[in-house]
A = this chain, B = another copy of it.
Amino acid sequence: MIEIETCSWAYGNSGTRFKVFSQRGVPRDPYEKLADAAQVHAFTGAASRVALHIPWDQVADFQDLSRYASELGIRIGAINSNVFQDDDYMLGSVANPDPRIRRKALDHLLACVDVMEATGSDTLKLWFADGTNYPGQDDIRARQDRLAEALATVYQHLGEGRRMLLEYKLFEPAFYTTDVPDWGTAYAHCLRLGEKAQVVVDTGHHAPGTNIEFIVAVLLREGKLGGFDFNSRFYADDDLMVGAADPFQLFRIMHEIVSADALGVSFMLDQCHNIEPKIPGQIRSVMNIQEATAKALLVDRAALAEAQAGGDVLGANAVLMDAYNTDVRPRLAALRESQGLDPDPMAAYHRSGYAEKIAAERIGGVQAGWGA
């Protein structure tokens, strides 16, 4: 089975600009987040990596945090930088017109590289909220120059065997221009940077109507797909559970991955469980990816290739749909049992009493959330 990376912030409270609802038992610190992430791995056997977000997961001793992860049977995944939650970043971070703020942002990125070394993480994931809200507010090309300069500096600091993933996003929080709005911009920057730089596809970060599996296929063909931030959306960047809004799309994406023998790229979850409980939300998401992958692996590739070569439109489509329409849940249940796992991770988690335990124990303190 493929490995799926969960992220520390999924276990904290999240919400929209209108309201962040608090939930019982939510972690108060990075250690508690890791403990919750370990539960997801314990029941699915497929989520051994956990991404950190700096400074949300700033701790005094990252090596200790890393050791704690090991004790829990998991390890630290990608280090995610945050250069958008300081008043200084109101007009941007590395693309800010003010050189002082650019320097501050760059320093943070370099500090994240240090966290990589301290935690043993091999991946730096960069997302920039940078952009503008009003036409004329700043110079689009100048911002690209500033961005390129910062990226180049960070790239030079990456250690051996490390890589940098650059994330793009159509809009939000910037509302007129975003400095890395689409895969083309991310790709152009990564191309100039070199082999250690790759594009990460967040499934919720596209304009309506964008064909994401096409982007996946093209990036794979160019050797520039680093991986995914998985989630799902009906409208904008809704950050719902992956596979919840359009399971067929998730299947088509996994079909491109399987077709290109690329199951080794990073599969990360980047979601907000605003109204559903966090740990079950993550378990369900892991299972959704597993189901989509299992279906993609069922595609009769020889029959598909033959129908495609023959121009048999309905035949080729039918080969794909036959796999999609198959109920793969029994196979996955059997596979879990063969691995010593419960065939039904969700039921097993509910039976475990962990939810009740953390709700009872995690009293007092400040619940983790975006910005904390």
A interface residues, Cβ below 8 angstroms from B: 14-19, 21-22, 84-85, 87, 89-91, 97-98, 129, 133-142, 144-145, 170-173, 175-178, 181-185, 187-188, 191, 206-211, 213-215, 217-218, 220-222, 233-236, 238, 240-241, 244-249, 252, 255-256, 259-260, 274-277, 280-281, 284, 291, 304-305, 307-311, 313-314, 316-321, 324-327, 329, 346, 370-371
Return the chain B residue nearest A256 by Cβ: B140
The 4 residue pairs across chains A and B that have the minimum distance between CB atoms: A184-B184, A136-B320, A207-B207, A208-B208
Q: Closest CB-CB distance, A31 to chain B, in whole Å? A: 25
Q: Closest CB-CB distance, A197 to chain B, in whole Å? A: 15
Return the chain B residue nearest A329 by Cβ: B325
Q: Closest CB-CB distance, A233 to chain B, in whole Å? A: 7
Contact of A213 among B140, B211, B247 (CB under 8 A): B140
Q: How far, in angstroms, from A52 to B181 measured CA to CA in the complex? A: 35
Q: Closest CB-CB distance, A101 to chain B, in whole Å? A: 9
Q: How far, in angstroms, from A361 to B252 measured CA to CA in the complex? A: 40
Residue pair B188, A222 in contact (C-beta under 8 Å): yes
Residues of chain B with a CB closer than 8 A to A240's CB: 133-134, 175-176
A325-B141 contact given A172-B236, A173-B15, CB 8 Å threshold: no
Residues of chain B with a CB closer than 8 A to A370's CB: 17-18
Residue pair A259, B217 in contact (C-beta under 8 Å): no
Residue pair A244, B173 in contact (C-beta under 8 Å): no
Residue pair B214, A91 in contact (C-beta under 8 Å): no
Q: Closest CB-CB distance, A183 to chain B, in whole Å? A: 5
Residues of chain B with a CB closer than 8 A to A172's CB: 16, 18, 235-236
Residue pair B141, A217 in contact (C-beta under 8 Å): yes
Residues of chain B with a CB closer than 8 A to A98's CB: 311
Q: How far, in angstroms, from A316 to B97 measured CA to CA in the complex? A: 13
Contact of A210 among B90, B207, B217 (CB under 8 A): B207
Contact of A129 among B18, B135, B238 (CB under 8 A): B18
Residue pair B137, A317 in contact (C-beta under 8 Å): yes
Residues of chain B with a CB closer than 8 A to A291's CB: 325
Residue pair B171, A236 in contact (C-beta under 8 Å): yes
Q: Closest CB-CB distance, A70 to chain B, in whole Å? A: 30
Q: Closest CB-CB distance, A201 to chain B, in whole Å? A: 12
Q: How far, in angstroms, from A140 to B321 measured CA to CA in the complex? A: 17
Q: Closest CB-CB distance, A333 to chain B, in whole Å? A: 12
Residues of chain B with a CB closer than 8 A to A187's CB: 184, 187-188
